[in-house]
Chain A
Amino acid sequence: MEKILLLGDEAIALGAIHAGLSGVYAYPGTPSTEITEFIQNNATAKERKIHSRWCTNEKTAMEAALGMSYAGKRALVCMKHVGMNVCADAFVNSAVTGVNGGLVVLAADDPSMHSSQNEQDSRFYGKFALIPILEPSNQQEAYDMMKVAFELSEKLQEPVLLRVVTRLAHSRAAVEVGAQGDENAFNPSTGRGWVLLPGIAKKQYAALLEKQPLMLEAAENSPYNRNEKSGTKLGVVACGIGYNYVKEAIANFKIDGINLLKISQYPLPENKILDLAAECEEILVVEDGQPVVETDVKTIVGDKATVIGRLTGQLPRTGELDPDSVSKALGYETQSPLGIAKNLAGRPPQLCQGCGHRDVYTALKEVAAEYEGARIFGDIGCYTLGALPPFQALASCVDMGASITMAKGAADAGLFPSIAVIGDSTFTHSGMTGLLDAINDNSNITVIISDNLTTAMTGGQDSAGTNKFEAICLGLGVSPDHVKVVTPTPPNIPEIKRIIKEEIEYNGVSVIIPRRECMQTLMRHRKQAKKQ
């Protein structure tokens, strides 16, 4: 068998292609982006015309994937953890409809919030929707599990959630890869279970509950949930990549007497956990993310064993696990023989030199300074860096699209001038509906759609609304006199300031679209042009 170096994300992508994938549906989001990018560039995927174009948001992605599953094909949906919130309606109800072709939902969590606004744990969503969850502990399992996940999904006729974390998604290792499998035949469902009217939904929900013992049985018998025992001094339940840190500590400090239960498939195998509790008085739960399993293990074992972990302070309550924190929880401290350096300063990321967002903020800040009480509501993208020095311009950054709706709500409460800054891709993701609300209410807000013609923060993916923004705004009902397009460059700053001021003074919804290509994609395009 062939061995190749792959990122965790790439292993997932190749595993899916080899498992007979017919379509990936996704919106870019760190740390999940590379999965879809890999499929977009894969020769087999191109040849087979596997769907891989970016979607407008995670909800449209989830629904399209469910449609592909309805038609009998295998589909994959990929997103970062907060994308699960966006697609939650479709996701939870896909468990009630059930699936036809295999449907795998990939959520990439970001404990420690390397590139995110929270560290929510997607395993809650899997439990909530009552479906199986797979959580690979390394790149090889990530590859292998795609096939397992599609087979399980088709066997149970339910979606399967595959959960990874940043450290696996963005870490490289050699992966042994298998053969290319065939795609499913086109075979649309004829069932009635997809129509979730109350009468049918009740039956479907009962059927979902009836499948729970099958899911539990699959987890009890899963080769990914296995026991490795060198004694009974301490029981350890190690989930996903938490297993690696435990193994590392055992090897480093030659720790003996651990009864280790590796968990990579959920629902939790209750019998395996009860067996552990029968042998060990104390059980340490090692999981990357929130204490999901720790709470459940407590419930399962009752007073048969003491359960420790993030909730009891042996492991940090927040942030990703690492070999140091896990060693410490096992009673062994790692050391820094050379200490900590003194001459250090933080180096936060910043907007690129020459970036159009910089010119937008320069103009915006100067105009806003003329009004006491002005607020600029931000959104999610590179331009969120406008919250940091030198601009320090933003009052908020919450979730995709919230700039427009928060500006609207604040304006409803009397705030003036109420300004929203949103990127092009974020606007089509979740800003358009909020803009419609503002128009219908004739809210007094000024919306800046800072259009750099790409989804820049995640590395320059296509943006769904490119070349359509004026039409979208006019179509939603913004007055044609108050949709202005400008080119954000230093010489144009006086003109941009004048326009911003005019639109602030207009009592109603105005949209200003500063448009200039992202520096990163511009340099990439120039390089490509030079090659040809």
Chain B
Amino acid sequence: MILCGVGGQGILSIATIIGEAATKAGLHLKQAEVHGMSQRGGDVQSNLRLSTDEIYSDLISKGGADVIISMEPMESLRYLPYLGKDGWIVTSSKPFVNIPNYPDEAALQAELKALPRVSQLDIDAIAKEVANPKAANMVLLGMAAPYIEIVSVEQLREAIRTVFARKGDAIVESNLKAFDAGVAHK
């Protein structure tokens, strides 16, 4: 799968939780991240691969992704060449505009809606409603959970508990609430 967004939107936390769930499930994992200069408000992505067999390449090949999980609608389209023919795009519907030439939003929406398998939601609004704005990435993970077939929804919930445990019960609970709201969107 490809996780993407704009630097600072929290895609690496999503990767950490999926990674925790996959490791606990005894799966092979490879996760290529972007560090360095691009993290300053530029486009960022992470290639995350899970398998019951040994994984060789750190990078996903064209048409090789089962799901694109994106914190931003235009960013989800950037990686379209990597999505498999039955693959899903799971994305926040709210544009993050920090460039002067951001595409026309209606055209962007039309292009997204013309694709066969897209799940979109205003994750910021949902996170604000059920938990707190910082948990928007957990809403997104919840939306994506049904399409990450190799780990179960319950395994992801368990991973959220583990990863946020050191931040206290309240944080764990609010992240789980956000995650469940995402799952319910299906």
Contacts and interface: CB of A to CB of B under 8 A. Distances in A.
Interface in B99-157: 99-104, 107-108, 111, 115
A335 B42 contact: no
Contact of A173 (B29, B78, B82, B87): B29
Interface string A254-276: 00000000000000000000000
A332 B35 CA distance: 31
A243 B42 CA distance: 31
A334 interface: yes
A345 B97 CA distance: 11
Q: Which of A5, A167, A172, A248 has the most CB of B within 10 A?
A: A172
B63 A335 contact: yes
A350 B98 contact: yes
Given A171-B33, A173-B31, A345-B74, A114 B80 contact: no
B34 interface: yes
Nearest to A337: B85
Interface stretch (A211-219, A322-330, A469-477): A322-330
A324 B61 contact: yes
B34 A170 contact: yes
A382 B108 contact: no
B35 A323 contact: no
**What does DSSP make chain A's interface, helix, strand, loop or mixed?**
loop
Interface size class of A (residues with CB under 8 A): 35 or more
Contacts of A336: 62-63, 80-83
Given A170-B32, A174-B29, A389 B61 contact: no
B19 interface: yes
Given A170-B34, A338-B85, A349-B39, A5 B59 contact: no
B40 interface: yes
Interface size class of B (residues with CB under 8 A): 35 or more
Nearest to B80: A341
A251 B54 CA distance: 11
A457 B36 contact: yes
B37 interface: yes
A345 B41 contact: no
Interface in A495-512: none
B32 A248 contact: no
Nearest to B77: A341
A349 B7 contact: yes
A69 B130 CA distance: 58
Nearest to B72: A347
B12 to A, nearest CB: 10
A385 interface: yes
A85 interface: no
B174 to A, nearest CB: 18
Given A172-B30, A349-B39, A350-B41, A323 B100 contact: no
Contacts of B59: 167, 245, 322-323
Contacts of A459: 35
Interface in B32-63: 32-43, 55-63
A457 B35 CA distance: 10
A344 B103 contact: yes
A168 interface: yes
B185 interface: no
A153 interface: no
A9 to B, nearest CB: 9
A247 B83 contact: no
B60 A343 contact: no
A247 B53 CA distance: 13
Contacts of B74: 343-345
A7 B33 contact: yes
A20 interface: no
B6 interface: yes
Nearest to A348: B42
Contact of B36 (A114, A345, A347, A351): A114
A343 B57 contact: no
A195 interface: no
A340 B78 CA distance: 8
A458 interface: yes
A318 interface: no
A170 B33 contact: yes
A7 B58 CA distance: 11
Given A114-B37, A172-B31, A172-B33, 17 more contacts: A114-B36, A167-B59, A170-B35, A173-B29, A173-B58, A174-B29, A323-B60, A336-B83, A343-B111, A345-B74, A346-B43, A347-B43, A349-B37, A349-B42, A350-B42, A385-B37, A385-B40
List of 4 A-B pairs having minimum Cβ-Cβ separation, nearest first: A349-B42, A30-B36, A341-B77, A337-B85
7 contacts: A172-B33, A334-B62, A338-B87, A341-B80, A343-B108, A352-B40, A352-B41
